Amino acid sequence: MAVLVIQSCSAFASNKIPLPEPRPMEAPASTPHAPDKKTPETSNLSACQISLTEHIAIAPVVPPIQEPAGCGGEDLVRLEFIILQNGARVPLRPAAIVRCPLAKAVAEWIRDDVAALVANDVLREIDIAGSYECRDRNRVSGERLSEHARANAIDVVGVSLRRAGSISFTDKLGARDLREKARISACSRFPTVLGPGSDGYHEDHIHLDLLERKSGYRICQWNVLGP
C-alpha cells in the first residue's frame, strides 16, 4: 500500500498543475485630483462672462479697474472678435475694453442685425473709435463722468466689407438704406444711441451705451444724413 501511495503521488507530481495567477498589484491609495489650474479663474467669472462663450465672441477677461474720480469698473472684458452665425471671426479695430454686458450687446447687434444687413457681402472688420477711457462727458472738464469712464460705452465708426470696402455709419455718401436700418436696430437694443445731430460731439461716430435711466427712458439721437 505504501508503494502505491508513493506512485500515486509521483503521478500527480508529474502532471503540470496550473499555478494560481499572481495576485494583482494593489491599486494605489486614492488621492484627490489635482485642482484644475483654470478652476479658480472660472469660479471668479461673472454670469455674463460665462455666457459670453467663444461661439459668440473672443473676449478675454480683464481685471477690475479702479482709477481716481470714480473711473473704472468690474466685470470687464477685452472684446477682440465677434463670431458670426457661420463661425467667421470679425475683429474689432482696435479691441474694446468694456463691461461684459455691453460686449455681449454689441456682439449680438453685429451677429444678428448688422451681419444680416450686409448678407450679400462679407463682414470683415468693425471700426472702433473708443471704449474705456477715464474722462468727463465729451472730454469737457467739469461735465459729469462719461459712460466711457465706467467702461459702459463704445464708439463705433462703421464696418469694412470684402467687396464694398469701408462703410462709415456717419458718411453722408455711404449706403443710406444700410445706415437707416443700422440706426433702427441699434436704437432697439441700446438705451443710448448718439450720432450726427445729437450734440455736436458725435458727428463722425456712433456712441452706444447701456446707461439705465428712470422709467426705462431711452435716447436715440442719430440722424442718418444724405448728401
The pLDDT score that the predictor gives to residue 55 is 96
Give the pLDDT confidence score for residue 141 in this predicted structure.
85
pTM (global) more than 0.85: no
pLDDT of residue 41: 59
Closest to 118 in 3D by CA, of 180, 85, 161: 161
Rounded to the nearest 5°, which phi and psi values hold at 92? -95, 130
Are 123 and 115 within 8 A, CB to CB?
yes
Residues 107-140 pLDDT 10s: 999 999 999 999 889 999 999 999 999 999 988 8
pLDDT at residue 36 in the model: 43
The per-residue pLDDT for 22 is 52
Where the chain has pLDDT below 70, the residues are 1-42
Among candidates 92, 81, 85, which has minimal Cα distance to 57?
Answer: 81
What pLDDT is attached to residue 189? 98
For the chain, the domains span 46-221
- The pLDDT assigned to 96 comes to 98
As a whole number of angstroms, the distance between CA 108 and CA 195 comes to: 20
What pLDDT does 142 receive? 84
